[in-house]
Amino acid sequence: MAKHLGQTPVLRMLRGACVLTLLVLTACRSGRVAADLIHSDFATDPRQQGWVCSDWNLATQAVGGWSADGYLALSPGYSPFWVSPQFLVPSSEFFCITVRSRGSVGLCGVGYNLATTWGRYPHTNSQGLLAADDWTVMPAQPEWQTNHFCTRALANAATCGIRLSGGEVDEVRVTAASRAEVRAWADATYAAMPPLHYTPARDRFAGLSRIRNRLQQRQEVTVVLLGDSLMNDTCNSTFDVLLERTYGYAGNTRVHAVAAVGGGAGVDKWAGDANWNWPRSDLDLQAAVVGQRPDLVVIGGISNGTNYAAFEALIDRIVGGVSEQFGYTPDILLVTGAFGPGLDPAGYADQLRMLAEQRAIGFMDLRSVWLGYVTAAEQQGVPRSHFYRDAVHANHFGKQMLGRALVAQLGPDPPRFFPLQRIGDSVQVRWETEPGAAYSLWSQAALGSASWTLVNTATATTDTMCVNVDPSREGEAYYRVSSP
């Protein structure tokens, strides 16, 4: 806070954790033409090219789902859906699905691995299909439009594929996507949303020294997200490529995101529940978590209930397993649920916070962040349904909210401000930075308003950044600085 002498209005500085960068993903960028992994205009029945029309039980439909006019024609919803031929993408790398469609169309990236010991879809006809898929549903549209969706090859996928469901699709193209292209797509998606204003506590890295040090030093890191389908959505939020930008990663050094998930799989299942009805190999803690050599394990979701003893048992198994096998102690971050049809159990956040303090591990109340965000969005006329793909799960907009919240939690400390200075007719807003990180300055006319105005976005080249603002434009202004 600072007040200037004379008639200069009061300027207040607030901190946040979001960024708005207007970028657009294209098929060709900087002269590089991406080779198609899949391309079809559905001029003929796609079964002839290896596509399969299937239902949730993976039963193949021999006819239907295609129009002789040259497009897929499916009723709204997830089933039946078209499954593409398989293609190769390196583990943890990305690909982009581009469709020309109308109606409400579902897009999904999937992985396959016949030899894996974890993460398989629990069905006898699965043929190596992995449970950790990446669904979204595009908003219903009456006219033909082109949409893009970026997704990844899973850490344990040998091959990849896509699913298409609902609406009508007359062309699909799948191309490999660089991490820069994924960030561009993520930013373009985020630009169409109300910005997230979340300021994490400055002590949020208490118990998370390993991940913090490795990120600051721009080292390879592996983050395992453990739990249910909501943790799968969080893993599919592009938080990894956003963290790479935030910390100034370069070259082939990666933040690796691993989804160790199963539908409805709470901590009691992962800690070892013999009555769990999925094959035990699908929830293989050793292969899916310990064997990934995690620097950070994020434990959360909406399927944990009040199994606090199972949390402790699970933490012990993870920490003990990694320590014994690899000789170091991984960080653990407990998070409350987000999305889903209802609230967390009474006292859930307090119990997890207390457990985190007792075990000297990290804690994040993701439920509160999400509730605050969707409440503010509703005040701006954006309904909660805008961020859901069904009654429980996030779409690509909702996943960006999850990803930006996680990046704020694991990102650099909120910037510290220097005293404001008058420079001629302007006032200089100046703050500490980390070189290579991007920062945005936002202004607000009334404290507490849901509306913030973007003043400036730039990447720091030194350890400080400054922006000159015109105080005469507002009688009183509030400012905050954010980093993606």
Query: Are residues 220 and 265 located together in one domain of the fold?
Result: yes
Q: What is the DSSP string of 417-481?
A: BPPPEEETTEEEEEEE--TT-EEEEEEESSTT-S--EEEEEEE-SSSEEEEEE-GGG-SSEEEEE
Q: Of 138, 153, 181, which residue sits at a domain end?
A: 181
Question: Is residue 376 domain-resident?
Answer: yes
Asked whether 125 and 137 are in contact (CB, 8 A), the reply is no
d(CA 87, CA 131): 18
Using CA atoms, how far residue 353 sits from 116, 127, 334, in Å, is 35, 41, 8
**Range(s) of the domain holding residue 467:** 11-16+415-482
d(CA 423, CA 418): 14
pLDDT in tens, 28-59: 333 444 579 999 999 999 999 999 999 988 89
Q: Of 146, 181, 216, which residue sits at a domain end?
A: 181
Question: Is pLDDT at 290 greater than 80 in this prediction?
Answer: yes
Question: Is residue 198 domain-resident?
Answer: yes
Query: Are residues 99 and 237 located together in one domain of the fold?
Result: no
Asked whether 296 and 331 are in contact (CB, 8 A), the reply is yes
Q: How many residues does the chain have?
A: 484
Query: Are residues 243 and 342 located together in one domain of the fold?
Result: yes
Question: Is pLDDT at 471 greater than 60 in this prediction?
Answer: yes
Query: Are residues 228 and 109 located together in one domain of the fold?
Result: no
pLDDT at position 447, please? 65
Q: Per the structure, how many domains does the chain have?
A: 3
Query: Are residues 55 and 199 located together in one domain of the fold?
Result: no
Query: Are residues 315 and 387 located together in one domain of the fold?
Result: yes
DSSP class of 36 = E
pLDDT grade for 374, boundaries at 50, 70 and 90: very high
pLDDT at position 484, please? 55
Question: Is residue 432 domain-resident?
Answer: yes
Which residues, at least 6 apart from 371, have a Cβ–Cβ distance to it below 8 Å? none
pLDDT at position 426, please? 83
Question: Is residue 23 domain-resident?
Answer: no
Question: Is residue 5 domain-resident?
Answer: no
Range from 126-130, 319-323, 324-328, 379-383 carrying the lowest mean pLDDT: 126-130
What would the mean pLDDT of 400-428 be, rounded to a whole number?
87
d(CA 463, CA 362): 27
List the CATH number of the domain containing 429. Answer: 2.60.40
Listed in order, strand segments (DSSP E) in 118-217 are 134-137, 145-152, 159-165, 168-177
Query: Are residues 89 and 207 located together in one domain of the fold?
Result: no
d(CA 37, CA 56): 25
Q: At what angle do helices 179-191 and 396-410 cross, to 10 degrees?
A: 110
Query: Are residues 288 and 430 located together in one domain of the fold?
Result: no
Which residues, at least 6 apart from 451, have a Cβ–Cβ distance to it below 8 Å? 380, 444
pLDDT in tens, 108-118: 999 999 998 89
What is the CB-side half-sphere exposure of residue 409 using CA atoms within 13 A?
22
Question: Is residue 44 domain-resident?
Answer: yes
Report which of residues 436 and 259 the model is more confident about.
259
List the CATH number of the domain containing 232. Answer: 3.40.50.1110
pLDDT in tens, 319-360: 999 999 999 999 999 999 999 988 889 999 999 999 999 999
Q: Which amino acid is at 191?
A: A
List the CATH number of the domain containing 67. Answer: 2.60.120
pLDDT grade for 8, boundaries at 50, 70 and 90: very low
Query: Are residues 272 and 293 located together in one domain of the fold?
Result: yes
184: its two tokens: 């561009």
Predicted TM-score (pTM) of the model is: 0.84
Q: Of 181, 204, 238, which residue sits at a domain end?
A: 181
Which residues, at least 6 apart from 111, have a Cβ–Cβ distance to it below 8 Å? 129, 130, 132, 133, 153, 154, 156, 157, 158, 159, 160, 161
Question: Is pLDDT at 12 greater than 70 in this prediction?
Answer: no
pLDDT grade for 478, boundaries at 50, 70 and 90: confident
Query: Are residues 401 and 419 located together in one domain of the fold?
Result: no
Query: Are residues 104 and 211 located together in one domain of the fold?
Result: no
| Listed residue (400, 380, 387, 378) closest to 21, CA to CA | 400
* Sign (positive or negative) of CA dihedral 316, 317, 318, 324: positive
Report which of residues 1 and 424 the model is more confident about.
424
Query: Are residues 367 and 278 located together in one domain of the fold?
Result: yes
| Listed residue (277, 301, 295, 273) closest to 285, CA to CA | 273
101 bridge partner residues: 145, 169
d(CA 130, CA 236): 14
